[in-house]
């Protein structure tokens, strides 16, 4: 790469040929304000917010479309530049409704931010604002407010360049220009809600999230999407101990700037419903509340030396899988363990991000020894064939929607002992002899290993309800009761232990995983 | 004014739009000479030597523009004739299109050969329905005669010419918006760089030349670059068309040698302001150029440099004459309305600023102007100038500011009196 030196505001910046001024400046920590520029989209150059002074050029130049050249002098804070930013801000706001009090973008709006940074003037516009549509539904997840739109065309370019689905277009001319659905299309591609994330203003909002929470009340926890094994990096954003939304977190080695809609909204399904807050034990007349002590005792008694099938959810962490494998080996040696895994067909747009499964940690679980016995399908077949006397099912409802799978139901009913560990009283749990209340992805700390072998960190975004225990805590207590005295008691310590025992994970720690993850096997797939 | 007509030499001749008449007057001989005897590089040198500059408004040297096209590009190259004449007050290209289409086609062929393009487009303004039909017929005639097509004059050189009608947006006269439109997209100017010479139509090397520029080529190749360069001034060579309209005794299209005195042109050639009225202002180069006051044109000559020195631009040569009965507020408001209507809406300063200015001009005109409105318009126009994707922003900002700066007392009176103060 050819090294190029440029001077930004008097300071020498070393960059590489082919970079634009806005990129070189960002790398040097100089933020040049912009709306239409997006690192993953083509250059539109339409907002004019990034105009800077380039020495020896008579006119101001847009930093997003100006390539660096050796010795180039760039001024980002000159009087001319500051004046034009102020002017552009004024232009962008004259027809804007300034309806911040009812706008979901308020608090994370670049119009608000840049107004405070670069304008702070009263409006000189008093000749009647141009009106536009206030609530046009673009698709199942996205709604459009034309009056707030600054026509940066990021959304249009996203649909042209990333999903290649072309649902959006600019129509009309001049200050009547607006964004619209092209012909009769609907913005319902598998990545559609990303246009909300890249919209720098409140024009495109998320139909699921809007009017729910003011964004400044949100607590943000970096984590990994539990939707499938791609392992998209997300920020889990919560309010009053509830997940309000997922937002993508940039990771060029995994999901770049995007997440899919299925992943974005999967927390509803994965966290909703009435939570179990006490263990249950089957007695005559049905499942009745029990103490943890009694419930765990019953599990130990029921599984010990049984021929048990162990089924772990693909949403359990590596730490949990590691302990589950240990536990089953101790209690019911020789029992086959599998992690839930099922594939489906994906279309071309889905393939941009989605993996065919919905098991974010199937690979990690297998690495920990849960699996490799012929797969989940084969285990279930054996279950149907009556090969087992007991079962331990964690975090999955094997009976499908509304408990529709009658053959599996019959097979599970034949087991002499079934323990189900889940967050809800699922249809499967209703068949159990012991039900253990556990936690979901958003409540736990741990690691997932994605389909491509990247180990990434989950962090607890919300607190589990009282009465439930973390899956790893349950396994630890069972191991303890079974006589396996272990020296560790936190996910971090469990990870340390597994990194010592599982060859593939040697040398990895929470610190090296960081918030961008680490590639197993020396980072061959890793990108900068 | 007595001079040989270069561009208008066939105008007024019966059936001048037909191939037979055009041929009888020496038509397509330059084309034949170029294809048979000249290498592209020689042609480019000849056009450079003539000093011909783009007649669409910017005045960029034509030969130099051609020379920017990479010769070793593996991509196809395109020549586009810009016949999207839409500048207010400009109707010179239309005359050529309707009455001398073969001159335009011959010029297009020569230019295409210069950059070794095998497909040339004539992009014609959508409203010029008759012109488009005439051009299409002329292209057909030229094809049948073998001037267009495969293996032209047995030289092995192939060239196709396609007439494409625009959809009626002023902005499509801007060369990159024209290319977007020609590609089938929205008529939006492209962000530069890259420039059309390397990344033009469909991302391929492209030259866009104005009708009048191309129409000058047959004469230049016929008589030689030196003959053309002998006319005009040091930097503005040859002749230029001016379309004169407004308060003038003899409106119409005139061919003038570059450097001809503006005042003499208006008073003697065009017959001056009629009805014994006095001249109040004149726009020399189409609606997007700053208006000049009568005293400002005293010593101005009709060439790029002289008009620029006077604070305006030669532009398209659309001369709009306004006499003393003209309400300059209304004139400015009218022009502002045009630009607000035609702004493509792509970049923020132009999209928002043009309409803002138009709304203020409108309220002043209708007796609702306020103190401070004039300075506000000047400020807005200054904020648009130079900060937009394409020259449209400047085209809207320049006349707005010029009208106010040059006729400020009239604007102030209009605001104070809440009505027009021009006796008429």
The pLDDT tens digits of the residues spanning A167-209 come to 999 999 999 999 999 998 999 999 999 999 999 999 999 999 9
- For residue A522, pLDDT over 80 is answered with no
Same-domain pairing of B308 and B362? no
Where does the pLDDT of residue A20 fall: very low under 50, low under 70, confident under 90, or very high at 90 and above? very high
Same-domain pairing of B384 and B272? no
Residues B43 and B34: beta-carbon distance below 8 Å: yes
Span A318-376, pLDDT tens digits: 999 999 999 999 999 989 999 999 999 999 999 999 999 999 999 999 999 998 667 88
- pLDDT on residue A377: 86
Same-domain pairing of A392 and A500? yes
d(CA A416, CA B41): 93
d(CA A49, CA A58): 18
CB atoms A175 and B360 under 8 Å: no
Same-domain pairing of A55 and A203? no
Mean pLDDT of A141-146: 98
Out of B342, B349, B376, whose CB is closest to A48?
B349
- pLDDT on residue B323: 97
Whether residue A443 lies inside any domain: the answer is: yes
Q: What residues form DSSP beta bridges with A67?
A: A20
Burial of B218 (0-12, 13-18, 19+ CB in 10 A): buried
Mean pLDDT of A427-447: 97
Which of residues 474 through 493 in chain A touch B, CB cutoff 8 A?
A: none
Span A39-86, pLDDT tens digits: 999 999 999 999 999 999 999 999 999 999 999 999 999 999 999 999
> Could you report the predicted ipTM of this complex, rounded to two decimals?
0.94
Same-domain pairing of B372 and B334? yes
Whether residue A269 lies inside any domain: the answer is: no
For residue B180, what is the enclosing H or E element? helix B175-182
CATH number for the domain harbouring residue B400: 1.20.1440.230
Which of residues 167 through 186 in chain A touch B, CB cutoff 8 A?
A: 169-170, 172-177
Q: How far is A245 from chain B (nearest CA, A)?
A: 32
Instruction: Enumerate the residues of chain A whose CB falls inside 8 A of the CB of residue B343.
Output: 173-175
**What does B217-282 look like in DSSP terms, one character per residue?**
HHHHHHH-HHHHHTSB-SSSBSEEEEEEEES-SS-EEEEEETTEEHHHIIIIIS--SSTTPPEEEE
Same-domain pairing of B42 and B63? yes
**pLDDT, averaged across chain A:** 95
Instruction: Return the residue in B181, B342, B347 with the most chain A beta carbons within 10 A, the one to mutate for interface testing.
Output: B347
Return all residues near A404 (Cβ < 8 A) that are at least 6 apart. none
Q: How far is B374 from chain A (nearest CA, A)?
A: 13
- Structural domain range at position B288: 239-323
Determine what percent of chain A is predicted with pLDDT higher than 70.
98
- pTM above threshold 0.80: yes
In chain B (424 residues long), the average pLDDT of successive 10-residue segments reads 88 97 97 97 98 94 97 96 97 98 98 98 97 98 98 97 96 97 96 96 98 98 97 96 98 97 97 96 96 96 96 96 97 97 97 97 96 97 97 97 98 96 74
d(CA A135, CA A205): 10
Total domains in the fold of chain B: 3
Instruction: Enumerate the residues of chain A whose CB falls inside 8 A of the CB of residue B352.
Output: 91-92, 94-95, 175
Same-domain pairing of B74 and B99? yes
DSSP state of B204: S
Same-domain pairing of A52 and A131? no
Same-domain pairing of A420 and A469? yes
Same-domain pairing of A374 and A450? yes
Same-domain pairing of B333 and B319? no
Total domains in the fold of chain A: 3
CB atoms B348 and A45 under 8 Å: no
Same-domain pairing of A397 and A289? yes
Last residue of a domain, one of B169, B194, B229: B229
Whether residue A350 lies inside any domain: the answer is: yes
- For residue A526, pLDDT over 60 is answered with no
Same-domain pairing of A395 and A495? yes
- pLDDT on residue A376: 87
b (16+ CB within 10 A) / e for A130-141 = bebeeeeebbeb
Cα three-residue angle B216-B208-B253, rounded to 5 degrees: 40
- pLDDT on residue B423: 66
Out of A88, A124, A173, whose CB is closest to B348?
A88
Last residue of a domain, one of B304, B323, B342: B323
Instruction: Enumerate the residues of chain A whose CB falls inside 8 A of the CB of residue B387.
Output: 48, 51, 59-60, 84, 87-88
Residues B17 and B100: beta-carbon distance below 8 Å: yes
Return all residues near A362 (Cβ < 8 A) that are at least 6 apart. A229, A314, A339, A340, A341, A371, A451
Same-domain pairing of A198 and A295? no
- Structural domain range at position A206: 99-108+125-213
Size of interface A-B (CB pairs under 8 A): 92
Whether residue A232 lies inside any domain: the answer is: no
d(CA A106, CA A116): 13
CB atoms B341 and A174 under 8 Å: yes
- pLDDT on residue A347: 96
CB atoms within 10 A of CB A59: 12
Q: Tell me whether A46 touches chain B (CB under 8 Å).
A: yes
For residue B379, what is the enclosing H or E element? helix B373-384
Mean pLDDT of A393-408: 89
Instruction: Enumerate the residues of chain A whose CB falls inside 8 A of the CB of residue B183.
Output: none
- For residue A285, pLDDT over 90 is answered with no
Whether residue B8 lies inside any domain: the answer is: no
- pLDDT on residue A372: 65
Last residue of a domain, one of B200, B229, B258: B229
Q: Tell me whether A108 touches chain B (CB under 8 Å).
A: no
Instruction: Enumerate the residues of chain B whose CB falls inside 8 A of the CB of residue A90.
Output: 383
d(CA A212, CA B231): 74
d(CA B70, CA B72): 6
CATH number for the domain harbouring residue B44: 3.40.50.11540
**3-state DSSP of A76-124:** CCCHHHHHHHHHHHHHHHHCCCCCHHHCCCCCCCHHHHHHHHHCCCCCC
Q: Tell me whether A92 touches chain B (CB under 8 Å).
A: yes
Same-domain pairing of A400 and A332? yes
d(CA B107, CA B96): 12
Q: What strands lie across the sheet with A204-206, from one edge to the other?
A: A136-137, A142-144, A204-206
Determine what percent of chain A is predicted with pLDDT higher than 90.
91
Q: Tell me whether A59 touches chain B (CB under 8 Å).
A: yes
CB atoms within 10 A of CB B366: 14
- pLDDT on residue A374: 78
The SS3 assignment for B177 reads helix
Same-domain pairing of B354 and B405? yes
């Amino acid at each position: 790469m050819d090294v190029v030196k440029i001077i930004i505001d008097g300071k020498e910046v070393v960059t590489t040929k082919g970079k634009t001024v806005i990129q070189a400046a960002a790398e040097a920590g100089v933020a040049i304000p912009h709306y239409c520029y997006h690192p993953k989209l083509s250059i539109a150059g339409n907002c004019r917010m990034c105009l800077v002074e380039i020495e020896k050029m008579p006119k101001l130049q847009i930093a997003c479309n100006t390539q660096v050249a050796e010795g180039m002098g760039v001024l980002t804070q000159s009087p001319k530049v500051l004046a034009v930013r102020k002017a552009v801000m004024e232009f962008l706001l004259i027809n804007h409704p300034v309806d911040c009090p009812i706008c979901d973008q308020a608090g994370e709006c670049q119009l608000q931010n840049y107004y405070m940074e670069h304008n702070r003037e009263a409006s000189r516009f008093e000749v009647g604002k141009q009106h536009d549509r206030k609530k046009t539904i673009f698709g199942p997840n996205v709604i459009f407010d034309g009056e707030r739109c600054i026509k940066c065309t990021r959304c249009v370019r996203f649909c042209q360049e990333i999903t290649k689905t072309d649902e959006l277009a600019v129509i009309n001319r001049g200050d009547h220009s607006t964004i619209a659905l092209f012909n009769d299309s609907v913005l319902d591609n598998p990545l559609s809600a990303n246009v909300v994330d890249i919209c720098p203003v409140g024009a495109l909002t998320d139909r699921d999230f809007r009017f729910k929470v003011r964004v400044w009340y949100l607590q943000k926890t970096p984590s990994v999407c539990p939707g499938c094994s791609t392992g998209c990096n997300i920020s889990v954003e919560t309010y009053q101990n509830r997940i309000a939304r997922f937002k993508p977190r940039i990771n060029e080695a995994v999901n770049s700037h995007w997440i899919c809609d299925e992943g974005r909204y999967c927390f509803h399904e994965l966290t909703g419903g009435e939570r179990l807050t006490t263990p249950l034990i089957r007695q005559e007349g049905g499942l009745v509340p029990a103490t943890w002590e009694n419930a765990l005792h019953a599990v130990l008694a029921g599984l010990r030396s049984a021929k048990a099938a162990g089924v772990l959810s693909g949403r359990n962490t590596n730490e949990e899988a590691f302990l589950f494998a240990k536990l089953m080996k101790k209690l019911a040696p020789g029992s086959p363990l599998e992690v839930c895994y099922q594939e489906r067909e994906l279309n071309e747009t889905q393939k941009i991000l989605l993996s065919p499964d919905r098991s974010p940690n199937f690979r990690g679980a297998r690495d920990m020894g849960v699996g490799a016995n012929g797969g989940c399908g084969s285990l279930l077949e054996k279950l149907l064939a009556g090969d087992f006397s007991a079962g331990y099912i964690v975090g999955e409802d094997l009976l499908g929607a509304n408990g529709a799978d009658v053959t599996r139901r019959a097979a599970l009913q034949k087991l002499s002992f079934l323990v189900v560990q889940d967050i809800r009283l699922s249809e499967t749990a209703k068949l159990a002899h012991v039900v253990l209340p556990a936690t979901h992805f958003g409540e736990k700390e741990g690691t997932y290993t994605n389909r491509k072998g990247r180990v990434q960190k989950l962090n607890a975004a919300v607190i589990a309800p009282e009465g439930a225990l973390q899956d790893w805590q349950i396994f630890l207590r069972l191991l303890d009761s079974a006589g396996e005295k272990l020296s560790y008691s936190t996910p971090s310590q469990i990870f340390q232990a597994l990194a010592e025992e599982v060859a593939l994970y040697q040398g990895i720690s929470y610190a090296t995983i960081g918030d961008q993850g680490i590639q197993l096997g020396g980072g061959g797939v890793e990108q900068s | 004014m007595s001079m040989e007509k270069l561009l208008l030499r066939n105008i007024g001749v019966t059936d001048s739009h037909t191939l037979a008449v055009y041929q009888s007057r020496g038509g397509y001989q330059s084309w034949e000479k170029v294809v048979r005897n000249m290498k592209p590089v020689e042609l480019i040198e000849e056009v450079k030597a003539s000093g011909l500059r783009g007649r669409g408004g910017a005045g960029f040297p034509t030969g130099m523009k051609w020379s920017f096209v990479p010769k070793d590009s593996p991509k196809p190259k395109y020549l586009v004739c810009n016949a999207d004449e839409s500048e207010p007050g400009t109707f010179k290209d239309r005359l050529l299109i309707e009455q001398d289409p073969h001159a335009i086609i011959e010029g297009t062929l020569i230019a295409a050969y210069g950059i070794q393009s095998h497909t040339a487009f004539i992009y014609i303004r959508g409203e010029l329905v008759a012109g488009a039909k005439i051009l299409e017929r002329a292209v057909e005639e030229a094809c049948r005669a073998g001037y267009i097509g495969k293996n032209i004059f047995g030289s092995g050189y192939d060239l196709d010419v396609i007439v494409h009608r625009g959809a009626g947006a002023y902005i499509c006269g801007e060369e990159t918006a024209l290319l977007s439109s020609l590609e089938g997209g929205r008529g939006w100017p492209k962000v530069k760089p890259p420039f059309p010479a390397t990344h033009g139509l469909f991302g391929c090397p492209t030259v866009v030349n104005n009708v009048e520029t191309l129409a000058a080529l047959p004469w230049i190749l016929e008589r030689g670059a030196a003959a053309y360069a002998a006319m005009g001034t040091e930097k503005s060579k040859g002749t230029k068309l001016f379309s004169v309209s407004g308060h003038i005794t003899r409106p119409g299209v005139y061919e003038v040698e570059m450097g001809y005195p503006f005042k003499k042109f208006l008073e003697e050639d065009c017959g001056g302001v009629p009805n014994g009225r006095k001249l109040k202002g004149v726009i020399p180069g189409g609606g997007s150029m700053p208006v000049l006051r009568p005293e400002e044109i005293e010593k101005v000559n009709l060439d790029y440099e002289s008009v620029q020195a006077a604070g305006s631009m030669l532009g398209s040569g659309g001369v709009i004459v306004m006499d003393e009965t003209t309400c300059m507020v209304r004139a400015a408001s009218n022009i502002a309305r045009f630009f607000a209507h035609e702004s493509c809406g792509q970049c923020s300063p132009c999209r928002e600023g043009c309409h803002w200015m138009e709304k203020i001009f409108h309220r002043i005109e209708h007796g609702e102007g306020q103190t401070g409105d004039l300075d506000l318009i000047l400020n807005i126009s200054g904020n648009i100038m130079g900060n937009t994707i394409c020259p449209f922003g400047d085209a809207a900002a320049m006349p707005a500011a010029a009208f106010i700066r040059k006729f400020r007392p009239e604007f102030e009176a209009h605001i104070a009196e809440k009505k027009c103060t021009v006796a008429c």
